[in-house]
């Protein structure tokens, strides 16, 4: 018996040593690559790639120099800060070779062989072509250098142990790059590349498991990110965007608004402002073509465009037998009804229509609460629309009640938002 125990114990000790050796073994130098000639065409291509991949959104603080880093990402186990990726030799990536840059973006290993956390979405960028990554580097090298030392991360043990990321990668790193599907047309393939590699849509829209790995079997079926719900964007007609025309999708990605589909807020508005609004019409159509072909998923709220509570209401008031929560109705009447008509239309502009949107059919009202706290504005070919922030003048209880009323009245679902949820969203 003791012998068996000691064999098991020795095996366990050897296992731990082997695992530690794998994790902490220094990575070798990055594989050398042939540098492309730095022509103006290459740099222009790199700029477009940087835009489509939205590097700037994460590597810039509000009001800070572009690409100089410092943006904080709050995770359950601490805070991580994006580094400076301007060509400053001392504090940026000015001294990096093309090979080191390629390895960082596609494999998540930095120039001195340390593991990078998947907050840099290399699980998607892994699919980028080497040519695109090198063009991107050529563009970054033309930017003004910012002297901005990196902010140290504040992660708790064991998450502060970078070598452990190697095990994470064994489980969750995609095995292969992007391979075009010869049986599909060129615009579908272009859309697939834009969605899965450059645009990294799945980093927000694909659910994650407890270990932060993407559940690739449920790609694009919806997830909560930075306190917002990134909706199901698969081809399902009720839970996803299968009911949207390709033109609606392209319009939404261009301006953040499509008639009858609502306005983009939060992280999606940021992705549109920095990145998607600057893509060519052909690329936006390609994204739409690809999204409309994705396997349908029925996860997430299904927006009912015309629940009974709406058809019985008018522009100026709810149905006489309105069953919505009376407190929430009073808040809505006082704070919201001047712009959002009771029958789901907008009072002054159709852009303020509230029917048929996933936000208002979500029982937790996550995006309703965020929009009410932060306010919103949108500029589209249809015009400019604005909603003020209610953060300062309304309590957590009032905002939760209004959100629940909106979900019940406009979405036909039963609202479950609590004042605690609002307090949490305020702190985000
Ligand atoms: C979703 C946010 C996000 C996006 C998008 C993003 N990054 Fe990052 N990036 C980060 C974070 C956070 C880190 C720090 C990771 C760490 O400390 O392990 C990082 C690290 C890096 C590094 C390593 C720098 C160093 O000094 O070690 C490089 C290079 C880099 N990113 C380049 C890019 C490029 C190029 C793009 C666009 C193709 C991009 N990133 C897009 C968040 C992002
Ligand atoms: C940084 C996170 C993030 C990224 C990256 C992102 N999205 Fe989103 N997306 C969101 C959030 C959050 C919403 C919800 C916005 C709202 O309700 O106002 C959203 C909403 C949408 C919607 C509207 C869905 C609906 O039913 O109303 C579409 C379409 C969409 N995203 C497509 C995309 C595509 C295509 C990409 C990649 C090119 C992408 N998103 C990348 C976070 C993201
Ligand atoms: C001054 C006019 C105004 C007031 C007051 C107002 N809103 Fe809005 N709201 C708008 C407009 C315009 C939009 C659409 C454009 C946008 O999002 O910028 C909008 C968008 C929204 C959305 C997002 C819909 C989507 O597209 O996803 C929600 C939810 C919402 N409002 C709820 C409320 C609630 C709840 C209140 C009251 C607490 C309120 N609004 C008060 C004008 C207003």
pLDDT tens for each residue of 303-335: 888 888 888 899 999 988 888 889 999 999 999
Instruction: Indicate whether residue 146 lines ligand 2 (CB < 6 A).
Output: no
Other beta carbons less than 10 A from residue 419's beta carbon: 14
Q: Quick one: which ligand is closest to 387's CA?
A: 3
CA separation, residue 239 to residues 185, 284, 298, 379 (Å): 26, 22, 5, 26
The residue written with tokens 């997430």 in the block is 300
Residues 173/117, Cβ–Cβ less than 8 Å: no
Instruction: Indicate whether residue 121 lines ligand 1 (CB < 6 A).
Output: yes
Average pLDDT over residues 238-245: 96
Q: Phi and psi (nearest 5°) for 5?
A: -60, -45
Instruction: Indicate whether residue 178 lines ligand 1 (CB < 6 A).
Output: no
Residue 57 C-alpha from the chain's centroid: 11
- CA-nearest residue for atom 14, ligand 2, is 230
Instruction: Indicate whether residue 385 lines ligand 3 (CB < 6 A).
Output: yes
Instruction: Indicate whether residue 23 lines ligand 1 (CB < 6 A).
Output: no
CA–CA gap between residue 100 and residue 29 (Å, rounded): 8
pLDDT for the residue 32: 84
pLDDT level of residue 185 (50, 70, 90 thresholds): very high
Mean predicted lDDT score pLDDT of the chain? 94
The candidate with the shortest Cα–Cα distance to 98, out of 148, 140, 55, 159, is: 140
pLDDT level of residue 184 (50, 70, 90 thresholds): very high
pLDDT for the residue 308: 87
Q: List all residues 6 or more positions away from 341 whose beta carbon is below 8 Å from its beta carbon.
A: 314, 315, 316, 347
Tokens in use for 255?
A: 């301006």
CA–CA gap between residue 321 and residue 308 (Å, rounded): 11
pLDDT for the residue 160: 93
Stronger pLDDT, 201 or 2, i.e. the higher one:
201
Q: List all residues 6 or more positions away from 425 whose beta carbon is below 8 Å from its beta carbon.
A: 227, 366, 369, 370, 373
Q: Do you know the residue count of the chain?
A: 428
Ligand 1 closest atom vs CA 162 = 18
**pLDDT tens by residue, 383-414:** 999 999 999 999 999 999 999 999 999 999 99
Q: 44-58, 157-171, 306-320 — which is least confidently predicted?
A: 306-320
**pLDDT tens by residue, 263-284:** 999 999 999 999 999 999 999 9
User: Residue 158, preceding bond cis, omega within 30 degrees?
Assistant: yes
Q: Phi and psi (nearest 5°) for 303?
A: -75, 125
Residues 271/54, Cβ–Cβ less than 8 Å: yes
Q: 106-110, 232-236, 248-252, 320-324 — which is least confidently predicted?
A: 320-324
Whether pLDDT at 19 is above 80:
no
Instruction: Indicate whether residue 205 lines ligand 2 (CB < 6 A).
Output: yes
């Amino acid at each position: 018996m003791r012998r068996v125990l000691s064999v098991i114990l020795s095996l366990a000790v050897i296992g731990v040593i082997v695992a530690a050796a794998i994790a902490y073994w220094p990575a070798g130098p990055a594989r050398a690559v042939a540098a492309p000639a730095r022509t103006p065409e290459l740099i222009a291509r790199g700029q477009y790639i940087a835009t489509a991949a939205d590097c700037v959104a994460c590597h810039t603080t509000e009001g800070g120099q572009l690409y100089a880093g410092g943006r904080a990402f709050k995770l359950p186990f601490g805070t991580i800060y994006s580094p400076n990726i301007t060509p400053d030799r001392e504090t940026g990536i000015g001294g990096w070779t093309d090979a080191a840059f390629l390895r960082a973006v596609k494999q998540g290993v930095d120039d001195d062989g340390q593991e990078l956390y998947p907050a840099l979405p290399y699980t998607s960028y892994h699919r980028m072509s080497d040519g695109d990554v090198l063009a991107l580097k050529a563009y970054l090298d033309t930017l003004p250098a910012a002297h901005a030392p990196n902010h140290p991360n504040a992660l708790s043990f064991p998450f502060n142990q970078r070598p452990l990321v190697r095990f994470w990668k064994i489980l969750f790193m995609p095995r292969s790059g992007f391979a075009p599907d010869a049986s599909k047309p060129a615009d579908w393939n272009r859309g697939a590349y834009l969605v899965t590699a450059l645009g990294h849509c799945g980093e927000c829209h694909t659910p994650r498991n407890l270990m932060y790995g993407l559940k690739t079997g449920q790609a694009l079926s919806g997830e909560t990110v930075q306190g917002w719900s990134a909706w199901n964007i698969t081809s399902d007609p009720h839970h996803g965007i299968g009911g949207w025309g390709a033109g609606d999708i392209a319009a939404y990605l261009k301006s953040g608004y499509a008639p009858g589909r609502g306005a983009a807020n939060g992280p999606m508005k940021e992705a549109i402002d920095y990145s998607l609004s600057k893509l060519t019409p052909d690329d936006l159509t390609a994204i739409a073509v690809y999204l409309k072909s994705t396997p349908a998923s029925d996860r997430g709220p299904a927006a009912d465009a015309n629940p009974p509570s709406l058809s019985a209401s008018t522009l100026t008031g709810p149905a006489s037998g309105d069953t919505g929560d009376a407190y929430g109705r009073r808040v809505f009447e006082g704070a919201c009804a001047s712009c959002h008509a009771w029958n789901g239309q907008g009072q002054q502009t159709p852009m303020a229509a509230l029917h048929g949107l996933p936000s208002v059919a979500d029982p937790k009202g996550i995006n309703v609460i965020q929009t009410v706290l932060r306010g919103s504005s949108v500029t589209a070919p249809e015009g400019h629309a604005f909603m003020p922030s209610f953060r300062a003048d309304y309590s957590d209880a009032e905002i939760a009640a209004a959100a629940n009323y909106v979900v019940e009245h406009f979405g036909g679902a039963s609202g479950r938002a609590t004042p605690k949820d609002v307090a949490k969203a305020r702190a985000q």
